[in-house]
Amino acid sequence: MQKKRIAIIGSTGSIGTQALEVIRENPSLLQAEVLVAHSNAELLVRQALEVEPNAVVIGDESKYSTVKQALSGSDIKVYAGAKAVQQIVEMETIDMVLASIVGYAGLASTLNAIRHGKQIALANKETLVVAGDLVTREAQKHGVNLYPVDSEHSAIFQCLVGEWNNPIEKIYLTASGGPFRGKKREELAQVTREQALKHPNWSMGAKITIDSATLMNKGLEVIEAKWLFNLKDEQIDVIVHPQSIVHSLVQFQDGSMKAQWGLPDMKLPIQYAFGYPERMPNQFPRFNFLNYPTLAFEPADKETFRNLALAYSAMKTGGNMPCIMNAANEVAVAAFLENKISFLEISALIESTMTKCSFIAQPSYEDYIATDQAARQIATEW
């Protein structure tokens, strides 16, 4: 394996910081070529001084002078602003782009990276949720591979190695169930921000953690899986697996099933995406069967956790409906984190926005931009 130079778009987030841990474990095989952060200038500077990338970008232009001054004693190039975030992926020295900006904000830089022939390690599921048809077409056009970083999609990808000619009958995405597994709607009426942020198995950013609590995260993954693996809606199912050991399963046309197992550690799918088709060694903790004598599986409760049902509905409708749903969800989660709406109102806000925003059956990139803005305005007014 030749050394890969990685651009980490979202280096100060949960995925970005773990990606840097993976790079530290494999310094002879991986190099952090570019680091991009939105506004966490302090952490970006610390990361840059440690790994010495070619360039860094701070999205918040007001933080440019802070970063520039802190790195003035180095040869690291410093850029700022949304345009710089989008354009930095064009650098010729980049071999792979880790797209790990949370939400719709990651779409522009990922599309630009694809159009400049960069291989993509995709941790931003919203990119395919919002514009899956456009993104996959562009990837095919430019000969770019999308390597999934979500643990569930990485699991499916790993199960398919050596099976490319064997048709998939069905895939099962596993869900932990989040902190409120087993509860009914009346029990969720008084859920607090602090309770929703306590995920039982995974350490993630606030937005993704809330999405996990509402099962929207799994809904987004369902839509992402459709585009990643070229599946029909009815071929994708969700099953709750509280231990988060079996990361997902593939069922083939002969009824055989493959599953990918492992401890819940995002560094593993990150490393697999960076190293594919090779598996790089590491010193991460190993799974012990004796620690997990029982593994449980349950159906997902779409009635209590309405967001999962809304995601399936958006996927079935197609067009710009997933974009509408995603925009409304981002507004709803932000409002919940600011204690402006209740936990149950997240679903109500999303559903209302999906009924009010204009539907476009075959949207262009410009339509996606307009849809995102319109949906956010409707959701905010709600």
Backbone angles phi, psi at 338, to 5 degrees: -95, 10
- Predicted confidence (pLDDT) per residue in 266-281, tens digit: 999 999 999 999 999 9
Sheet of 119-122: strand order equals 77-80, 55-58, 30-37, 4-9, 96-99, 119-122, 146-148
Q: Cα–chain-centroid distance for residue 326? A: 12
**Residue 318: is it exposed, middle or buried by C-beta count within 10 angstroms (0-12/13-18/19+)?**
middle
Mean pLDDT value of segment 101-110:
88
The reported pLDDT for the residue numbered 198 is: 86
The reported pLDDT for the residue numbered 279 is: 95
Is residue 200 predicted with pLDDT exceeding 80? no
The reported pLDDT for the residue numbered 335 is: 97
User: What domains sit in the chain, N to C, each tagged with a CATH number?
Assistant: 4-148 (3.40.50.720), 155-264+286-312 (no CATH), 318-382 (1.10.1740.10)
What one-character DSSP code corresponds to residue 202? -
Among 224, 121, 231, 123, residue whose Cα is nearest residue 171: 231
**What is the rounded average pLDDT for all residues in the chain?**
95
Beta-bridge mates of residue 6 = 32, 96
pTM score:
0.93
Alpha-carbon distance of 375 to 224, in angstroms, equals: 20
The reported pLDDT for the residue numbered 181 is: 92
The contacts of residue 209 (CB under 8 Å, 6+ apart) are 196, 197, 199, 202
Give CA separation, 92 vs 16, 52, 273, 307, 365, in Å.
Answer: 21, 17, 20, 41, 25
Position with higher pLDDT, 155 vs 105: 155
Please report which confidence band the pLDDT of residue 314 belongs to, taking 50, 70 and 90 as the band edges.
very high
The reported pLDDT for the residue numbered 278 is: 94
Pairing between strand 146-148 and 55-58? Answer: unpaired
Mean pLDDT value of segment 24-37:
96
Range scoring the smallest mean pLDDT among 95-104, 219-228, 251-260, 356-365: 95-104
Alpha-carbon distance of 325 to 355, in angstroms, equals: 10
